[in-house]
Amino acid sequence: MRVGFIANPTAGRGRTRALVERYAGALRAGAELHWTQGPGHARELAGLAARRCDVVCIVGGDGTVSEVVNGLMPRPVPIVVVPTGSGNDFASLVSCPRSPAELARLVEDGRGYRFDVIDCGDRYCANSVGIGFEAMVTFHSRSIQNMRGLPLYLLSVFKALASYECIRYTIAVDGREAASGDYLLVSVGNGTRAGGGFQLNPAAYPDDGWIDVCTARRMSRARMLTILPAAIRGAHAGKPGIEFHRGATVTVSADEPFPVHIDGEYLGRYEHALTMSVVRRCLPVLSRADGTARHTGRMERILGGAAPR
């Protein structure tokens, strides 16, 4: 069983290289180390690793996970994640290995889940798509150094508040118009979390065959700040202006360019409609069996197991 590691050697002031070497050294099977050299390179390395390895181990954050998934699609080999990013929202969906010994056991056991992936047309989304205010929060987070996780994104929220705007969107679900109006944000979730810990789509499961959408209509800064703590806990359902939708295909359109992020990567402003469709249970993800993973199905053997249903 050969494992290919994909990681940024300079991340964490060089600590990532030593971390990868420790994890690779714990494997009885062979390991290949693939080091990224810049944005987009992880996607290229994923294609190479998939041809040579049985498992791809991603050492990094949501951006690295997203690049690797895009490089592996449409028929990925199993992945496992060692989270070292600022948000780690995708990693929160599974029980990741916490030590080299746990990684070795995961690979030997070969069990996990088969996750959905969202097809966004020119790329795939592993966890979340943020439109409007959420995308601007991601934009501001890129300029903040020496902070991680929820504190980073909370500070980014306050930066985005200084110049936030509402845009008139139309949201279609499974080919029918579901909502329209002036929205602060449209958050599309394969998983529950976005923005380093905001539970924006608390009913989302990454293997249920659905895309979940949380929308927030135009509201004052004061009202938004009262809803923010509830959104961290996933308790914002029923709050004024908050709505939820679910479907296999979702299209968001507007009469003006709107800001977008996919899996924490700010993509600028789209001048056209964004259509997203679910690709069911295509991504095999290794996980510890400790009951904390966010899933709807049972764990199954994904190394040498049956093909996705």
pLDDT in tens, 85-117: 878 999 999 999 999 999 999 999 999 999 999
Summarize pLDDT for 196-217 with one digit per residue, the tens: 888 999 999 999 999 999 999 9
pLDDT band per the 50, 70, 90 thresholds, residue 21 = very high
* Cα separation values, 7 from 35, 90, 137, Å: 5, 16, 25
Domain with CATH 3.40.50.10330 in the chain: 3-116+282-301
Distance CA 150, CA 167 (A): 26
- The pLDDT of 132-148, averaged and rounded, is 80
CATH of the domain spanning 124-278: 2.60.200.40
Q: Which is it for the CA torsion 116, 121, 124, 128, positive or negative?
A: negative
pLDDT for residue 305 is more than 60: no
- The pLDDT of 155-159, averaged and rounded, is 83
CATH class of 3-116+282-301: alpha beta
**Short-list 137, 237, 145, CA closest to 196:** 137
* Cα separation values, 167 from 43, 245, 250, 254, 285, Å: 32, 18, 18, 7, 36
- The pLDDT of 231-259, averaged and rounded, is 96
Domain with CATH 2.60.200.40 in the chain: 124-278
pLDDT for residue 309 is more than 80: no
52 or 289, higher pLDDT:
52
Instruction: Give strand pairing partners of 12.
Output: none
pLDDT for residue 12 is more than 70: no
